[in-house]
């Protein structure tokens, strides 16, 4: 349903002060100015006298300050009122502090977003129990349910797999991709086959132990310990 215009609704007025960019290197002045706006309608500009100006040596500096000022329209009138009170130099310093705070906040928000994105992609493996059976589970991010459960009849069988799988965090994301591509059965086969291959390699190197957990003293290929 389209919104019908209310004829009695007052049109939104133009901002009383607006920033303007002066980045033409052929002109005498290069920088940014904050001017009184005599326009009546929102979005229109009829520039009046400047209430604050910042001259810059380079057009890029002027554009950077101008683009930041465009993100803070709620501050234009505040800056205009402050200009005759604190003076143009102090106002420039105050604006620089605000810009630095905005840049720092934006950086922190980006870092937080990156961290959350990494956490959402992170896969963790846990030795646990499910429905009364020992198992190893794989969970991605903050998902409440594991995407893969490898269950066993006896804890020692679970522990045998965990002796190997705990040293494979560099493979976890790839396992999730394999799960997405070919499903849980293919991932289970891949994990078990990879474990058996490493067990065979460690035995051949004389670093495995006897019994049902040949890799229980294994360190994923680091700090190998010979069988006792």
Predicted structure pTM score: 0.57
pLDDT in tens, 147-157: 999 999 999 99
In the prediction, which pLDDT does 121 show?
82
138 torsion bin: left (phi>0), alpha (psi -120 to 50), beta (else): beta
**What does the domain layout of the chain look like in residue ranges?**
17-95, 123-204
Calpha distance 149→136 (Å, rounded): 6
In the prediction, which pLDDT does 223 show?
47
**Alpha helices of the chain — where are they, by DSSP H?**
59-70, 76-86, 88-121, 155-165, 172-182, 184-204
pLDDT in tens, 84-106: 999 999 999 999 999 999 999 99
Residue 62 Cα distances to 21, 22, 30, 160, 183, angstroms: 7, 7, 7, 65, 55
Closest-CA residue to 14 (of 32, 38, 48, 47): 38
pLDDT in tens, 14-52: 899 999 999 887 888 999 999 999 998 888 889 999 999
* pLDDT classification of 144: cutoffs 50, 70, 90: confident
Closest-CA residue to 214 (of 163, 149, 148): 163
Calpha distance 219→194 (Å, rounded): 16
- Decide if pLDDT at 226 tops 50: no
In the prediction, which pLDDT does 3 show?
47
């Amino acid at each position: 349903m389209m919104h019908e215009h209310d004829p009695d609704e007052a049109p939104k007025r133009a901002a009383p002060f607006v920033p303007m960019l002066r980045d033409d290197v052929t002109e005498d002045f290069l920088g940014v100015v904050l001017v009184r706006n005599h326009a009546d309608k929102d979005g229109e500009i009829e520039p009046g006298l400047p209430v604050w100006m910042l001259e810059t040596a380079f057009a890029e500096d002027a554009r950077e300050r101008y683009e930041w000022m465009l993100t803070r329209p709620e501050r234009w009138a505040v800056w205009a009122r402050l200009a005759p009170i604190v003076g143009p130099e102090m106002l420039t310093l105050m604006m620089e502090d605000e810009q630095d705070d905005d840049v720092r906040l934006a950086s922190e928000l980006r870092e937080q977003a990156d961290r959350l994105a990494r956490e959402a992609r992170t896969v963790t493996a846990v030795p646990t129990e499910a429905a009364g059976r020992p198992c190893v589970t794989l969970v991605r991010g903050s998902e409440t349910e594991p995407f893969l459960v490898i269950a066993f009849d006896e804890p020692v069988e679970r522990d045998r797999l965990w002796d190997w799988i705990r040293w494979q965090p560099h493979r976890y994301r790839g396992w999730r991709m394999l799960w997405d591509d070919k499903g849980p059965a293919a991932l289970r086969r891949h994990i078990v086959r990879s474990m058996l291959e490493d067990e065979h390699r460690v035995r051949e190197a004389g670093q495995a132990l006897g019994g049902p957990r040949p890799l229980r003293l294994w360190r994923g290929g680091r700090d190998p310990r010979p069988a006792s």
